[in-house]
């Protein structure tokens, strides 16, 4: 087994060894993110697990044309502070094969899992062929993980016939079962975009939803609101024990992002709604984002530096789709007028307000200018289009439009700059992907949202929650009110589920998938509505 030289790209104290590079050959392996144990570092010892260390499942994510990230975390006792692990570093072997039976191994690598990062593994695999499936598993001691399916990005510029993916998020544990994740696993997709609220930071509760019914399932009673690194780690660990979630992650690569509840409800940059001093809040944010990193299949480029994570990044699916994953939390202006759903907040329209911050806006401008793909996707967290919430049950009666100030409606100048970017880059087919609201909406983005004759410049597909807010007492009256007050709204549903997107060079198809009930496991999942966009003709077509 050769000891390979250190790679300057590896800043962590970690080791990756190549062995048995059967199909690819050693030369390809040398280009495959291979590093060596730094001189003087302790040799990870052999371990023997009394119980399965892969209780949190496995995942692939952040693909490139020649590879992807493979993730797991060793946690034989997942809800314990250290996951049942000692401080000893542990070598984890990764096998990558051509076939699901793992008979044709094309690559083997070893990563060292360390307590500093909760014994998580983030193996950046390189040197593979573009646009195809690979299968993988992990070994630690004598324990072996299940087999997962990963997929490389297509070669740059490749003409693709079709890409199928899901947009999903908002999965509060107590609110219901992850039946939608099981359906996503069954779909065998190219990837999943997670728009955030992977965890909720709230304390243990016995009740759920709008009407405070008994929760379908509860967290252990010793789960307080998350403030410390241990709190956040235990929260991810609990959520990740779910078999349906594990099945979805094992089925295809994940493109993770985060929204507010990975840290704290409605946080914005260095502030939270409780007016915690910024220096104190940033310590909480640092711990929350470290736990996010430890549990997501993301690259070392996403390793936190203090409270900061570079979470905005792009993925090109040949010449068909460009996905820009955006971060609308770390750099945004604080919510205006004290946040909430309000009518008449002039501060929301102030010049200079932003959802992305200057550096991310510049990055997006350059990315859009360079892109040649048919469809340009802004994969992000909170509603982009204008929207009037008047008449919705929790909104005070008023004659003026009511806007949600935690969304782009609280920073309209930032939205105008993004619309100007799309126009300047002559983007014919912008598609905005969103979550956050625990409802499903499909919207046309219009210059004047109240005027159906105003030019449509793009579409927004807002996914409902996997489980958050539970089944609840949705009414047809709410839906009718929303449609009446928002002529650019083409679909509204109050059920749980996800959105499945099927994209070709000629059309974008969004299937709004809904779960009959999340109160019990295994309920049917169905397509409530399909909406289409024809390439070159922004606007939504039902059915």
Residues that bind Fe ion (CB under 5 A): 170, 197, 468
Find the shortest distance in angstroms from Cβ 203 to Fe ion.
16
Helices 278-295 and 229-240: crossing angle in degrees, nearest 10, is 30
Helices 243-251 and 179-187: crossing angle in degrees, nearest 10, is 20
How many whole angstroms separate alpha carbon 297 and alpha carbon 249? 10
Residue closer to Fe ion (CB basis): 160 or 268: 268
Residue closer to Fe ion (CB basis): 354 or 463: 463
Find the shortest distance in angstroms from Cβ 435 to Fe ion.
7
Residue closer to Fe ion (CB basis): 187 or 262: 262
DSSP 271: B
Find the shortest distance in angstroms from Cβ 223 to Fe ion.
18
Residue closer to Fe ion (CB basis): 145 or 434: 434
How many whole angstroms separate alpha carbon 99 and alpha carbon 93? 18
Residue closer to Fe ion (CB basis): 85 or 170: 170
Residue closer to Fe ion (CB basis): 360 or 468: 468
Q: Rounded to 5 degrees, what are φ and ψ at 285?
A: -60, -40
Q: 3-class SS at 476?
A: helix
Find the shortest distance in angstroms from Cβ 376 to Fe ion.
25
Find the shortest distance in angstroms from Cβ 479 to Fe ion.
20
Q: What angle (nearest 5°) sits at the alpha carbon of residue 264, between those of residues 355 and 381?
A: 40
Find the shortest distance in angstroms from Cβ 195 to Fe ion.
9
DSSP 38: P
Residue closer to Fe ion (CB basis): 261 or 446: 261
Residue closer to Fe ion (CB basis): 170 or 421: 170
- Going 315 to 32 to 290 to 206, the CA torsion angle's sign is positive
Contact 315, 325 (CB under 8 A): yes
Q: 3-class SS at 512?
A: strand
Residue closer to Fe ion (CB basis): 198 or 315: 198
How many whole angstroms separate alpha carbon 53 and alpha carbon 21? 26
User: If phi over 0 gives left and psi between -120 and 50 gives alpha, with beta otherwise, what is residue 304?
Assistant: beta
Closest to 91 (Cα-Cα) out of 148, 57, 35, 140: 140
Contact 38, 22 (CB under 8 A): no
Terminal CA-to-CA distance of the chain, rounded, Å?
58
Find the shortest distance in angstroms from Cβ 437 to Fe ion.
8
Strand partners, 202: none
Contact 524, 516 (CB under 8 A): yes
Residue closer to Fe ion (CB basis): 92 or 288: 288
Kind and range of the H or E run holding 233? helix 229-240
Find the shortest distance in angstroms from Cβ 382 to Fe ion.
10
In DSSP notation, 108-134 reads EEEEEE-GGGTTEEEEEE-SPPSS-EE
Within 269-371, strands assigned E span 313-317, 321-325, 341-343
Find the shortest distance in angstroms from Cβ 152 to Fe ion.
31
Find the shortest distance in angstroms from Cβ 112 to Fe ion.
35
Q: 3-class SS at 243?
A: helix
DSSP 305: B
Residue closer to Fe ion (CB basis): 330 or 381: 381
Find the shortest distance in angstroms from Cβ 204 to Fe ion.
18
């Amino acid at each position: 087994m050769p000891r390979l030289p250190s790679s300057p790209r590896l800043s962590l104290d970690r080791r990756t060894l190549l062995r048995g590079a059967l199909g690819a050959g050693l030369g390809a392996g040398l280009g495959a993110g291979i590093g060596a144990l730094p001189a003087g570092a302790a040799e990870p010892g052999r371990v023997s697990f009394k119980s399965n260390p892969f209780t949190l499942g496995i995942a692939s994510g952040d693909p490139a044309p020649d590879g992807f990230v493979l993730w797991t975390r060793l946690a034989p006792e997942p809800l314990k502070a250290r996951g049942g692990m000692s401080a000893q570093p542990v070598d984890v072997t990764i096998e990558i094969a051509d076939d699901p039976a793992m008979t044709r191994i094309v690559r083997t690598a070893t990563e060292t899992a360390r307590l500093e990062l909760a014994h998580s593994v983030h193996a950046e695999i390189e040197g593979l062929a573009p646009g195809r499936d690979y299968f993988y598993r992990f070994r630690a001691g004598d324990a072996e993980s299940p087999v997962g399916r990963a997929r490389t990005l297509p070669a740059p510029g490749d003409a693709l016939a079709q890409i199928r993916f899901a947009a999903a998020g908002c999965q509060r544990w107590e609110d219901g079962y992850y039946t939608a994740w099981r359906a996503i696993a069954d779909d065998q997709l190219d990837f999943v975009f997670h728009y955030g609220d992977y965890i909720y930071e709230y304390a243990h509760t016995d009740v759920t939803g709008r009407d405070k019914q008994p929760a379908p399932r509860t967290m252990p009673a010793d789960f307080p609101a998350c403030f410390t690194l241990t709190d956040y780690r235990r929260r991810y660990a609990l959520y990740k024990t779910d078999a349906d979630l594990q099945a979805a992650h094992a089925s295809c690569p994940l493109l993770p992002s985060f929204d507010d509840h990975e840290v704290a409800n409605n946080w914005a940059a260095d502030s939270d709604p409780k007016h915690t001093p910024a220096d104190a809040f940033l310590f909480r944010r640092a711990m929350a984002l470290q736990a996010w990193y430890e549990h997501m299949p993301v690259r070392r480029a996403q390793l936190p530096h203090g409270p900061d994570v570079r979470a905005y990044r792009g993925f090109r699916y040949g010449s068909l789709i460009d996905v820009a994953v955006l971060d609308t939390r770390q750099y945004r202006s604080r919510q205006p007028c004290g946040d909430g759903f309000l009518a008449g907040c002039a501060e929301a329209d102030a010049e200079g307000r932003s959802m992305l911050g200057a550096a991310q806006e510049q990055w997006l401008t350059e990315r859009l200018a360079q892109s040649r793909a048919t469809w340009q996707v802004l994969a992000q967290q909170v509603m982009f289009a204008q929207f009037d919430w008047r008449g919705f049950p929790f909104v005070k009666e008023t004659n003026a439009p009511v806007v949600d100030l935690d969304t782009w409606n609280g920073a309209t100048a930032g939205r105008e700059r993004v619309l100007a970017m799309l126009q300047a880059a002559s983007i014919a087919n912008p598609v905005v992907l969103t979550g956050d609201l625990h409802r499903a909406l499909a919207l046309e983005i219009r210059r004047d949202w109240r005027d159906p004759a105003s030019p449509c410049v793009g579409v927004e597909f807002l996914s409902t929650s996997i489980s958050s807010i539970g089944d609840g007492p949705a009414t047809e009256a709410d839906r009718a009110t929303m449609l009446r007050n928002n002529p650019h709204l083409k679909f509204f549903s109050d059920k749980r589920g996800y959105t499945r997107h099927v994209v070709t060079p000629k059309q974008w198809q969004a299937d709004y998938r809904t779960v009959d009930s999340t109160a019990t496991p295994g309920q049917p999942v169905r397509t409530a509505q399909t909406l289409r966009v024809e390439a070159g003709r922004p606007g939504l077509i039902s059915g």
